[in-house]
């Protein structure tokens, strides 16, 4: 009988050994952490990454950050947090079916949106515009900053000190200018390589999750209609099947059943197509996956087309809806004003943020000051940003 370092008999635990394919990310071949640490006692390395993400304050902030609808617009819409949970769930299903490392997929999925500014893409675009003379703002890069630098939870190092494989997965894309500065995780953008299969799965799980839940949230909001969705091939096929088999079913149940089937059909397509590609390429290890010129995880051409049609529709009818645009314009101005005010007069910042700003100013001068303001704003939840705006810019508060 084996004993671990705390002398707890291993047999007391129900240990399920994960079945991993050769091309999966095996922990014993990990490129490790930036600061070396002893292995965890009861968990794997990627489990520890996932747990560190869950314990981070950036993760808890996702609860009050916009996915599509701003937090106060309704209690039932997806937030960044519930979105990330859905991504993890889809990703884990795919990982298990393909014998990839489920914990790594989960860690990447839960961390993938940690760098989002408040108010979703409107917030990101506004902050990017504010930062245009200082390299811009990109939520992917910022997520890496969050896990590498900004989280302060451990005595021995800044950040969460995640494994290379989790960090590689978080950095979904980045410009060549940035890639040069990022060291190991930037290399693949310079060399034209791919990330691990687990990172590829998390990336497409994100797409499956948001396309489907945005249909659901969009219908709930009344900004898009069933009538419009029935024009889309991916929706229509499942819709006809559901109403054909369940006459008189309440509309809410029809919608949920259709969305559920849309998720399943994309997962099935993804697993089938990716398995076939892997069979053909037959990589013997994860690094062979990284040397490929294109991703090995992907959808069939028909599914790609159907997803594209759905995305186009959502872009125009939902994200481009005048009511969503109005909110985006409002929050864009809010972010712009906060940025301007804090850069012009850092003494208006609360003490902790001011201390961070002074430290960055010491090491990086004016660029450091501006970056510290961007970090402060990016870390805000939707409602905190609104409160700060009132406290700083509304004389009646
Ligand atoms: Mg996402």
CA of 111 to the centre of ligand 1 (A): 9
CA of 361 to the centre of ligand 1 (A): 32
CA of 43 to the centre of ligand 1 (A): 26
Q: Which residues of 207-219 are buried (b: 16+ CB within 10 A; e: fewer)?
A: bbbbbbbbbbbbb
CA of 147 to the centre of ligand 1 (A): 16
CA of 83 to the centre of ligand 1 (A): 7
Q: CATH assignment of 15-323?
A: 1.10.3210.10
- pTM, entire model: 0.94
* pLDDT tens, residue by residue, 185-215: 999 999 999 999 999 999 999 999 999 999 9
pLDDT (average), residues 24-51:
96
Lowest mean pLDDT among 179-183, 338-342, 366-370: 179-183
DSSP 223: S
Residue pointed to by tokens 């997962």: 267
| pLDDT at residue 16 tops 80 | no
CA of 206 to the centre of ligand 1 (A): 5
Residue pointed to by tokens 């109005």: 326
Query: In 3D, which of 330, 352, 359, 360 has the Cα closest to residue 120?
Result: 330
CA of 89 to the centre of ligand 1 (A): 13
What percent of the chain has a predicted confidence (pLDDT) above 90?
A: 89
CA of 105 to the centre of ligand 1 (A): 13
CA atoms within 13 A on the CB side of 65: 28
79 DSSP β-pair partners: 66
* pLDDT tens, residue by residue, 112-164: 999 999 999 999 999 999 999 999 999 999 999 999 999 999 999 999 999 99
CA of 85 to the centre of ligand 1 (A): 10
What stretch(es) of the chain map to CATH 1.10.3210.10?
15-323
Instruction: State the virtual CA torsion across 365, 368, 372, 373 in degrees, nearest 10.
Output: 70
Asked if residues 369 and 346 have their Cβ atoms less than 8 Å apart, the reply is yes
* pLDDT tens, residue by residue, 289-306: 999 999 999 999 999 999
What does the block give as tokens for 335? 């972010």
* pLDDT tens, residue by residue, 136-146: 999 999 999 99
CA of 138 to the centre of ligand 1 (A): 13
pLDDT, residue 5, reads 42
| pLDDT at residue 45 tops 90 | yes
Asked if residues 194 and 179 have their Cβ atoms less than 8 Å apart, the reply is no
Asked if residues 318 and 218 have their Cβ atoms less than 8 Å apart, the reply is yes
């Amino acid at each position: 009988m084996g004993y671990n370092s705390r002398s707890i008999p291993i047999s007391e635990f129900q240990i399920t050994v994960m079945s991993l394919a050769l091309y999966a990310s095996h922990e014993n071949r990990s490129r490790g952490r930036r600061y070396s640490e002893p292995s965890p006692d009861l968990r794997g390395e990627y489990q520890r990454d996932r747990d560190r993400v869950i314990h981070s304050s950036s993760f808890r902030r996702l609860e009050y950050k916009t996915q599509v609808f701003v937090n106060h617009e309704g209690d039932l819409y997806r937030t960044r947090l519930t979105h990330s949970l859905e991504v993890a769930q889809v990703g884990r299903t795919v990982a298990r079916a393909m014998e990839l490392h489920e914990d790594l997929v989960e860690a990447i999925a839960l961390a993938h949106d940690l760098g989002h500014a408040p108010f979703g893409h409107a917030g990101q675009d506004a902050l990017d515009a504010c930062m245009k003379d200082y390299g811009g703002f990109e939520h992917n890069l910022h997520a890496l900053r969050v896990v590498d630098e900004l989280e302060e939870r451990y005595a021995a190092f800044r950040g969460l000190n995640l494994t290379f494989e989790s960090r590689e997965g978080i950095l979904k894309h980045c410009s060549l200018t940035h890639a040069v500065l990022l060291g190991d995780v930037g290399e693949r953008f310079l060399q034209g390589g791919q990330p691990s299969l687990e990172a590829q799965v998390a990336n497409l799980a994100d797409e499956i999750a948001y396309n489907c839940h945005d249909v659901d949230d969009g219908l709930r909001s009344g900004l898009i209609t069933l009538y419009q969705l029935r024009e889309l091939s991916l929706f229509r096929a499942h819709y006809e099947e559901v109403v054909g088999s369940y006459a008189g079913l309440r509309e809410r149940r029809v919608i949920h059943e259709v969305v559920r089937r849309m998720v399943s059909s994309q997962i099935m397509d993804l697993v089938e197509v990716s398995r076939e590609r892997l069979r053909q390429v037959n990589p013997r290890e994860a690094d062979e996956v990284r040397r490929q010129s294109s991703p090995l995880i992907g959808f069939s051409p028909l599914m790609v087309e159907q997803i594209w049609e759905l995305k186009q529709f959502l872009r125009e009818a939902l994200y481009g809806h005048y009511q969503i645009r109005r909110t985006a314009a409002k929050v864009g101005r809010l972010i712009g004003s906060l940025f301007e005010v804090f850069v012009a007069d850092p003494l208006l910042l609360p003490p902790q943020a001011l201390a961070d700003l002074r430290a960055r100013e010491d090491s990086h001068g004016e660029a450091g000051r501006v970056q510290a303001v961007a970090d402060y704003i990016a870390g805000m939840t939707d409602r905190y940003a609104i409160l700060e705006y009132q406290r700083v810019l509304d004389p009646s508060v």
